[in-house]
Chain A
């Protein structure tokens, strides 16, 4: 308990400090991106007046050709990206920052929060890949969805880490080492995301997020699936041996060498650096850092799926806090989304965390692979739509667009359902077996007495 709180306190002091030092590097709103409220719209002359956020400064803007009239709303906080190629003050893209909260949206957020929480507690990560696209489909701009998810992720990860640390599954040293390198990755990731938003607006940001989602999820997901399949075919009771790649990495004797006691690994710091770096980059840009971090720790570093998924929660806390400060400096966090997700995810994450004490190591891999691959289908279905907005593929017919949207939506629901079903099923099965065992134990003791 004491060690855990010291670790949390150190992160709390160091991160804001480091954040200020790094602030010049990436934080702060983009120059070509405006945040404010439209106070006047003249559709006939294609002009609008924007009052910049936090100031009384008014700016006259020209409504670009690609802007849809329904996106222009008076007295609502909006994110505007400008089209410098078309001239000065021409709106390229505009989106409402804070979506109107309806009962349907509220219930959706609570539901995905719960399942996302269970997944996070169970496989160390996994809320984000569902939550970010879900918030985007509910109407949040890409950057706001990533920022709000980040702000919901770190408190959830903190609670999850605490629980799994109590179960003896978190390697705090490995988490700290990975997090330090991952923070540099986060910095790079935030800069890339901002550059893309700046250059290509929300459509560009959406296209980038979706493309990265699909590539990472398909490649890593297939690898984990293959491994989980082999393990499920073999002896289920035996824990998986250390993967070949990890054994080779552990044999590299390049100082400084590090000992990770909980993970039971001795490995060169030079191996953990790239794994941490990529985890951070992906976490900041597309919020699925865990899908590089956990397989990285399993297949490259050589930790068990149990320790890797638990340690990932610790990394997610530190990186999530760092990322939230960065996104907060740009003023892009919709706190309503963050706390609504937390309402159920804080229950889910503790449920998932205690669930791991009832299952075998390979079950974690199965849940991870299944969710990654199904979500890849969901995001992949959206790619043609985003590509057509850039003229890279032909305009989609309304029927095709509707079909792809439906496919994307149902794949996401399927991913949530499958992941929730496998993890909860395995958890309940483990609990029932455990209860039977303790009953037998009590009966045996009574007999002996």
Chain B
């Protein structure tokens, strides 16, 4: 495992993105009925599920990337 000893680990970003991500999940599931109903109306409402998927991937993806760095799991250096 090629841990980067010199580079500081992104603790702060992990916490920020983690908190943001959890808030979005809580927001979505606390309004479950309204969300599932609106998101499946078809037509222009397609933007809702597709946009949500993008939003979650950026926020949660950034969290996941930072988390792996914090855990010291990095790609092999060439």
Contacts and interface: CB of A to CB of B under 8 A. Distances in A.
A binds B: yes
Interface of A: 28-29, 35, 53-54, 77, 97-98, 101, 151-152, 154-156, 158-159, 163, 166-167, 321, 324-325, 328-336, 338-339, 342-343, 346-347, 350-351, 353-354, 357-358, 430-432, 434-435, 438
Given A28-B42, A29-B42, A434-B1, A151 B61 contact: no
A5 to B, nearest CB: 12
19 contacts: A155-B53, A155-B61, A159-B61, A166-B75, A167-B75, A325-B46, A328-B45, A331-B40, A333-B40, A335-B28, A335-B53, A336-B28, A338-B52, A338-B53, A346-B60, A354-B74, A432-B1, A435-B2, A438-B2
Interface in B26-72: 28-29, 32, 35-37, 39-43, 45-50, 52-54, 56-57, 60-61, 64-65, 67-68
A334 B36 contact: yes
B57 A332 contact: no
Given A167-B75, A342-B60, 19 more contacts: A77-B40, A151-B50, A154-B53, A155-B57, A159-B61, A324-B46, A324-B49, A328-B46, A331-B39, A331-B43, A333-B40, A335-B52, A336-B29, A339-B53, A346-B57, A350-B61, A350-B65, A350-B68, A430-B76
Contacts of A152: 53
A324 B53 CA distance: 10
A317 to B, nearest CB: 10
A185 B9 CA distance: 44
A426 to B, nearest CB: 13
Given A324-B50, A346-B61, A351-B68, A331 B45 contact: yes
| Of B46, B60, B67, most A-chain CB atoms within 10 Å | B46
B19 interface: no
A335 B35 contact: yes
Interface residues of B, number: 35
B64 A158 contact: no
Interface of B: 1-2, 25, 28-29, 32, 35-37, 39-43, 45-50, 52-54, 56-57, 60-61, 64-65, 67-68, 73-76
A354 B67 CA distance: 14
Contact of A151 (B53, B73, B75): B53
B41 A77 contact: no
**Interface pairs A-B: 9 shortest CB-CB:** A155-B57, A328-B46, A331-B42, A331-B40, A357-B76, A354-B75, A347-B64, A333-B49, A431-B1
Contacts of A155: 53-54, 56-57, 61
Contacts of B43: 329, 331
A325 B50 contact: yes
B64 A328 contact: no
Given A324-B50, A347-B64, A339 B76 contact: no
Contact of A53 (B28, B40, B48): B40
A340 B68 CA distance: 19
Contacts of B60: 342-343, 346
Majority-rule SS of A interface residues:
helix
B2 to A, nearest CB: 6
B29 to A, nearest CB: 7
Contacts of A98: 36
Contacts of A435: 1-2
Nearest to B39: A335
A388 to B, nearest CB: 31
A229 to B, nearest CB: 26
A80 B52 CA distance: 27
A331 B57 CA distance: 21
Nearest to A355: B75
A339 B58 CA distance: 12
Given A28-B42, A155-B56, A335-B28, A357 B50 contact: no
Given A155-B61, A329-B43, A339-B25, A354 B68 contact: yes
Contact of A97 (B1, B28, B40, B64): B40
A342 B55 CA distance: 11
Given A53-B41, A155-B56, A335-B28, A328 B50 contact: yes
A16 to B, nearest CB: 9
Contact of A332 (B37, B40, B76): B40
Nearest to B40: A331
A332 to B, nearest CB: 7
Nearest to A334: B36
Contacts of B45: 328, 331
